[in-house]
Amino acid sequence: MTNKKQSFLTIAQNKKILKCEKFLEEMEQVIPWNKLLEEIKPYYPISQFGRNKTELILLLKIYFLQQWYNLSDPGAEEAIYDRNSFQKFLDIDLISSNIPDETTILNFRHLLEENKLPERFFEIVDQLLEEKGYIMKEGTIVDASIIKAPSSTKNQGKKRDPEMSSTKKGNNYYFGMKMHIGVDNQKGLVHTLKTTTAKIHDRDEFYNLLHGDEKIILGDKGYYNEKDKKHCRSQDIFWGILDKAKRNQKLSEKQKRRNKKLSSIRAKVEIPFRVIKCQFNYTKTRYKGLFKNTMQLNTLFMLTNIYLVRKQLLA
């Protein structure tokens, strides 16, 4: 009786499907690849990427892997060689395929940023989901969240990022930027994204987060404004911003009950933040300055919207 040794490839082919593989299979099926690729093609000259032009779909998939798994450019190159699930998603093998190096991955990311293509990706997916009825745009929930940036001055310029700033939340101070979002009140999908430095008050971006056709507006007490409340009610728009206690005056029991009821509705706005922070592990800025980080956030929220309705899209 002989013992037959299984190769690593045989083991990989016969093993159970991992969560990461299932996730990548689902996302591969629901992302509108052709529409996104059509946006990139006019900006994708052969000469920029050397003699052997890397397939555009391959670079786009690597770019998305970077967002889902919070990978740097060199980290993405290493992960491709290391992870079988990545190789399967990219439809490559390490022997015969031309694996992009970190410089190629970097150049492609810069190409997307310089031409603001992540913004177009977000718009394309937003329009697609609206056409399919997943984004209703009848009401908007607004909110903002802080993303920390490196505060150390141990760098070449001996300075912190000048486009980031400090702010106080509760009893803690944070250094970084803010992402402001407006989401559909039915599905909790993001229809508008704005970014600012951290010290900017949430209310300053309030109107920029609305699409203009709202019948309902919801948000936490940081967005409360008496003039806005009267204006919305005069326009037959439901004012769902939480009541804020005035100086030396507590909220009434009625106001407290109203706030509690509205809080359970506006909780949908927390879902996209949870996905990019917990699912995609985006908790700190990767790049310097607001522009590059804003481009990344456009991609992250675009992928978040698809992720949140992937089951329905697959069906």
- Residue-wise pLDDT tens digits, 232-264: 999 999 999 999 988 888 999 999 999 999 999
Q: How far is CA 267 from the centre of its chain?
A: 18
Neighbours of 289 (CB within 10 A): 14
In which residue ranges of the chain is pLDDT below 70?
Answer: 1-15, 46-54, 96, 154
Any idea which fold 136-289 has?
Nucleotidyltransferase; domain 5 (3.30.420)
Whether 295 and 119 have beta carbons less than 8 Å apart is answered as yes
pLDDT at 247: 84
Strands 238-241 and 216-219, by their bridges, are parallel
The helix (H) or strand (E) run that includes residue 39 is helix 33-40
State how far the Cα of 140 lies from the Cα of 142, in Å rounded to an integer: 6
Task: Supply the pTM of this predicted model.
Answer: 0.90
pLDDT of residue 14: 61
- Residue labelled with tokens 């009401």: 139
> For residue range 297-308, what is the model confidence (pLDDT) as tens digits?
999 999 999 999
Taking alpha carbons only, the member of 144, 42, 67 closest to residue 306 is 67
DSSP 31-58: S-HHHHHHHHGGG--GGGG-SSPPPHHH
Domain ranges of the chain: 8-115, 136-289
Structure tokens at 2: 């002989």
